[in-house]
Chain A
Amino acid sequence: MSIIYVLIPIAMLFVLIAICIFFWAVKSEQFDDLDRQSVSILFDDDKPVSTETKNTESKNTESNDSTPS
């Protein structure tokens, strides 16, 4: 049981680190726009602009064009 005298302070240290990270995240405005950041990973970078775009990506079908709700 004496091991908890070592383990609990270590756990406290982890919590402290977590709180510091959370504070840093809030202060660097990462919580300001949750809709945007949640999907930003899905957006690729843009294709190079060219007048005749060779289309290699999946075809846009009518189905992914959602109708207004």
Chain B
Amino acid sequence: MTTVATIDEGTDTPYALSHLDALESEAVHIFREVAGEFERPVILFSGGKDSIVMLHLALKAFAPATVPFSLLHVDTGHNFPEVIDYRDRTVDKHGLRLHVASVQDYIDRGVLRERPDGTRNPLQTLPLTEKIQSERFDAVFGGGRRDEEKARAKERVFSLRDEFSQWDPRRQRPELWNLYNGRHAPGEHVRVFPLSNWTELDVWQYIAREGIELPEIYFAHEREVFQRNGMWLTAGEWGGPKEGETVEKRQVRYRTVGDMSCTGAVDSDAETLEQVIAEIAASRLTERGATRADDKLSEAAMEDRKREGYF
């Protein structure tokens, strides 16, 4: 029998957990609380690094048994093909069940209308919330982190949503010790954020430590991109480039994975995990500031979307 726990050599307190061990243990506790208290939990899985880490933690939390949750992907219709491929391989590998809520379906049916700016991120809210209602999910895991954005810094680990999936930041339950309150009425659900206390750097260090595979777009590669609103967007059938926008080949990578219409690439030579971590540690821009157009719409863009039911 071996002892694998990390004992921090840098302190004189042998029982202190390293910060990654502490964050991992807390996240696992959250997964197990939900498994113990809810009927129909689901993990929001986009194929992005945060949801990949979430799934990895869930797998560890219930090992050697399987994860007692299904997955839900909100497909904007403008996803990176590498990410969809990763998603499908992961679902197969772990024998999981995947639910898909499709923005394209809603547009084709005329329920949602394409926005003039072409971004589909805000359009995800309706398919997501309707799927939650129709499948009667009562706990929905999201990979949101409080370091991402100042409205998210106010988010609880267990966040109650009403029957319209709305978030009311002024009526949140205080969260005391690690005693999470998951009580909810029929029709309501709880959003659960196991990575609340993680930062972007923590996520990357954990990916490196655990040797977790990621979609290739997170690493530097040559790609055809064009500039719009100060961001490098991938050219493609989703709607770019328009007239006056020119495509060029650049060495780039992605810091976040989202809808192609509003997720920007960053110039980068970082081809390995170690290089990515060094790059992020030196970056003077936040993850969302560097790569997300939708958060720049207004000072309270994230708060407003979250109030409506966005993750």
A and B held together in a complex: no
Q: Please give the residue numbers on chain B whose beta carbons come within 8 Å of chain A beta carbons, in ascending order.
A: none
